[in-house]
Amino acid sequence: MGDVHIAAGAGFSNDRRELGEIAAQSLTLFEGHRYLIFECLAERTLALAQSDDGQRRQIERAIGYLEACINTCILNNIKIISNFGGSAPKEVAEAISAFLKQHNLRRKIGYVLGDELPVNDTEHDGRAISRNAYIGANGIVEALDAGADIVVTGRVADPSLVVGAVAFEHEVKWIDWNRLAQATLAGHLIECATQVCGGYFADTGAKQVPGLTRLGAPVASVARGHDKLKISKPLGGGLLTTATVTEQLLYEIHDPARYLTPDVVMDVSGVAMRQTSKNEVTLTGCVGHARPDWLKTLTCVDEGWIGEGEISYMGDTCLDRAQMARSILQQRLENIAPSAAPHFDIIGSMYGEAKNNAEHPRDVRLRMAVASHDREQVQALLDEVEALYLNGPAGGGGIRLNISARTATVAGAVRQNEAVSRGYLLEDTP
Amino acid sequence: MTEAPTSLRMIPIRLLAHGRAGDKGNRLNISVIAFGPQHFDHLKTHVTEELCQRAFASSPPSGITRYVLPKISAMNFVLEDVLDGGVNVNLKLDRHGKTLSYALLDMLIPAPPGWSFQDGNQLT
């Protein structure tokens, strides 16, 4: 019957590991149902997880996050929900189970399946790597209902991690659009963890942030039956004000009246907020509309390789020499690979070049980026940057070359009934 | 240039507002949030879709939409097709377009009437 308090211990796949423990400690200060979430999936994380190496890394990450906070969570009956299951929620759940057994810790582990869709070989020239639907909170509720203390998911929509906890504890009906929207807002505000409480905010003047070396974690508090939503930051550095909350409220939002999720269409166009205490903001006025009858999908497509090469120049004439070097590369690439379409930046002069600024920069860095399905060709084009050491304009240095996999993400849609998600306990695997 | 009268003095948006950029696919959104409600109407008048278009003149978006949220003294600009295909294929240095909030916040607008530099960049 009590309030639900949800803290965020990670906002991306490689966030600070200490944050989970700060988040768990913060939750011990609240009475009611306590949940810790880790949001770990960016758009292409699932593509990166397809290889054996990627699979191993996603397990290591999940365990790394748990290692830092599991004792505090067990002692204080804090449940954990995370999409750190990535491309293989059940396998990650099994690895967590083995890790806990090894440390004589007992927790019931649940997982959610149903986001993975078959890859269509005829599309994208057979280069599709993975295809997933953004599923909603229902699988999380099923796993919690079955008794899970830790719920491991794959591609659940980020705010649905919080919707799952609230819907389970407050028995929210799947057509109670305003309650679902409020829980979605709670999830949206804390899913990037510190970004709502002083992270990614600091600047000079009025945007100074204390304690940036050890930021605290945000806690969302949802009370049953009224539309007030509290966001607070009880411990650690940083700050939580109407300014930090407003930046996160609009982060990655397009039409504020229609934020589409698998659970609900959230409408924040009438939201109001008030600083109700130091590091605590209360929001009202979020409403919901019927969920879309389709789910967003993301297909990861192998687009070969990106090569990046950089070289620095110093001194009064550095911009002229960087432009000379760029011109050399442009002409040589035209002969070697006419279709290469290289992209150039002169870092340090982004304004100077565009605005014809009289104040010229004192040091700049020329960057060339190329893409191709042929890795050897990418390497050959980067060799041209390296050759600037002896063959380019005077005083070039600090060359760095890098090749990385290029994975495109293509958005699509399926009807809700084409990607049915379910929650399970590890014991009763289907 | 000689000093213009106060009402014509141009100041960067960032003295009156703050903001953050976010990406989804090939779309970018940039929030512009007044430091205090007293300057919101002034910002609404001057921080327009046209001004945003000028901020991105060197690689123009195919469309810009502004949403206004008066209750929180904020605006949200949505820019189409500025990320060269999106975060994962973009060849630009900042693939997400995360730094682009400051391209908008650095744009100059007239200072509000009676405004002095001491008023700037203050949270209320």
pLDDT tens-digit readout, A307-339? 999 999 999 999 999 999 999 999 999 999 999
- For residues A44 and A15, the answer to whether their CB atoms sit within 8 Å is no
Q: Does B92 touch chain A (CB under 8 A)?
A: yes
Task: Give the phi and the psi of residue A386 in degrees, each rounded to 5.
Answer: -60, -35
DSSP code of A239?
-
pLDDT above 70 for A250? yes
Chain B contacts in chain A segment 289-328 (CB below 8 A): 303, 306
Chain B contacts in chain A segment 205-244 (CB below 8 A): 205-207, 241-243
Cα(B19)–Cα(B12) distance, integer angstroms: 13
The confidence score (pLDDT) of residue A362 equals: 86
3-class DSSP state of B111: coil
The residues near A383 (Cβ < 8 Å, ≥ 6 apart) are none
Which residue, among B33, B72, B75, would best test binding to A if mutated, counting the most A CBs under 10 Å from its CB?
B72
CA of A303 to nearest chain B CA: how many angstroms apart? 8
The confidence score (pLDDT) of residue A400 equals: 97
Chain A and chain B share a number of CB contacts under 8 A equal to 109
Q: Does B74 touch chain A (CB under 8 A)?
A: yes
Which stretch of DSSP H or E encloses residue A399? strand A397-415
The confidence score (pLDDT) of residue A429 equals: 43
The residues near A393 (Cβ < 8 Å, ≥ 6 apart) are A313, A321, A322, A324, A325, A328
Q: What is the mean pLDDT of residues A15-40?
A: 97
- For residues A212 and A244, the answer to whether their CB atoms sit within 8 Å is no
Interchain proximity B24–A409, CB inside 8 Å = no
The confidence score (pLDDT) of residue A352 equals: 52
Q: What is the mean pLDDT of residues A400-412?
A: 93
The confidence score (pLDDT) of residue A350 equals: 65
pLDDT category at A42 given cuts 50, 70, 90 is confident
pLDDT digits (tens, 9 = 90+) for A187-204: 999 999 999 999 999 999
Task: Give the phi and the psi of residue A88 in degrees, each rounded to 5.
Answer: -150, 70
Chain A contacts in chain B segment 27-56 (CB below 8 A): 27, 29, 31, 33, 35
Chain B contacts in chain A segment 59-118 (CB below 8 A): none
Across chain A, what does the average pLDDT equal?
94
Q: Look at A75-79, A109-113, A232-236, A349-353 and tell me which has the smallest mean pLDDT.
A: A349-353
Give the chain A residue whose CA is nearest to the CA of B23: A252
The confidence score (pLDDT) of residue A358 equals: 53
pLDDT digits (tens, 9 = 90+) for A123-172: 888 899 999 999 999 999 999 999 999 999 999 999 999 999 999 999 99
**Which member of B71, B89, B93 has the closest CB to residue A406?**
B89
The confidence score (pLDDT) of residue B118 equals: 67
Cα(A385)–Cα(A382) distance, integer angstroms: 5
- For residues A54 and A48, the answer to whether their CB atoms sit within 8 Å is yes
**Which member of B22, B91, B122 has the closest CB to residue A306?**
B91
Chain B contacts in chain A segment 176-205 (CB below 8 A): 200-201, 203-205
pLDDT digits (tens, 9 = 90+) for A49-72: 777 888 899 999 999 999 999 999
Question: Tokens in use for A117?
Answer: 């869709």
Q: Which chain A residues are Cβ-neighbours of B22 within 8 angstroms?
A: 250-253
Q: What is the mean pLDDT of residues A339-347?
A: 94
pLDDT tens per residue across all 124 residues of chain B:
445 454 578 999 999 999 999 988 889 999 999 999 999 999 999 999 999 999 998 889 999 999 999 999 999 999 999 877 776 778 888 888 899 999 999 999 999 988 876 665 654 4
pLDDT digits (tens, 9 = 90+) for A259-271: 999 999 999 999 9
Task: Give the phi and the psi of residue A187 in degrees, each rounded to 5.
Answer: -65, -45
